[in-house]
């Protein structure tokens, strides 16, 4: 299976914060599933790094992942549509990036491993085909 890992999980992983999502990422790294990333996740993860040691090793790991890119403007239009539809339901997503990640996962047949309130809302809304990666408490 393909799994797009959100920044929220990478932050837990890098900082050693114990969470079910961090444990799931450990299992994914050791397993056979196709670990995926995208430009906005890479940018968010690396802009938050405070320590230089280990940065090159982490970058090498990201280079080994399947890199997902939008196929054109339609993905952005779809992300905006998701945002608008959720807002019509009274749910305001704080970041357009979460809508982009969800539709990028949908476009590429990925599950999403996340620890993010807004992504949970998007993935459970029924508006996208992408599903959350299962984690155990």
What confidence score (pLDDT) does residue 35 get?
Answer: 97
Mean pLDDT value across residues 79-97 = 96
N residues, the chain: 137
Checking if the pLDDT of 79 tops 90, the result is: yes
The answer to the question of residue 86 being in a domain is: yes
Residue 35 belongs to what domain range? 2-124
User: What's the pLDDT tens digit per position in 8-33?
Assistant: 999 999 999 999 999 999 999 999 99
The answer to the question of residue 24 being in a domain is: yes
The answer to the question of residue 90 being in a domain is: yes
What CATH number should be reported for the domain holding residue 10? 3.40.50.1010
Band (pLDDT 50/70/90 cuts) for residue 94 is very high
The answer to the question of residue 41 being in a domain is: yes
What confidence score (pLDDT) does residue 41 get?
Answer: 97
Checking if the pLDDT of 98 tops 90, the result is: yes
Dist CA 3 CA 51 (whole Å): 27
The answer to the question of residue 131 being in a domain is: no
The answer to the question of residue 73 being in a domain is: yes
Contact between 46 and 11 (Cβ < 8 Å): no
**Exposure of 66 in the CB half-sphere (CA atoms within 13 A):** 17
Neighbour tally for 58: CB within 10 Å: 15
What confidence score (pLDDT) does residue 86 get?
Answer: 98
The answer to the question of residue 129 being in a domain is: no
């Amino acid at each position: 299976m393909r799994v797009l890992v959100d920044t929220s999980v990478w932050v837990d992983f890098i900082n050693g914060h114990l969470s079910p999502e961090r444990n799931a990422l450990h299992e994914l790294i050791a397993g056979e599933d196709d670990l995926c990333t995208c430009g906005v996740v890479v940018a968010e993860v690396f802009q938050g790094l405070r320590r230089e040691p280990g940065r090159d090793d982490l970058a090498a790991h990201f280079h080994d992942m399947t890199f997902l890119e939008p196929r054109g403007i339609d993905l952005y239009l779809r992300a905006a549509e998701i945002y608008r539809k959720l807002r019509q339901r009274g749910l305001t997503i704080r970041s357009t990036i979460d809508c982009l990640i969800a539709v990028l996962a949908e476009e590429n047949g990925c599950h999403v491993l996340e620890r993010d309130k807004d992504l949970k809302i998007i993935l459970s809304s029924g508006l996208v085909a992408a599903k959350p990666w299962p984690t155990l408490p």
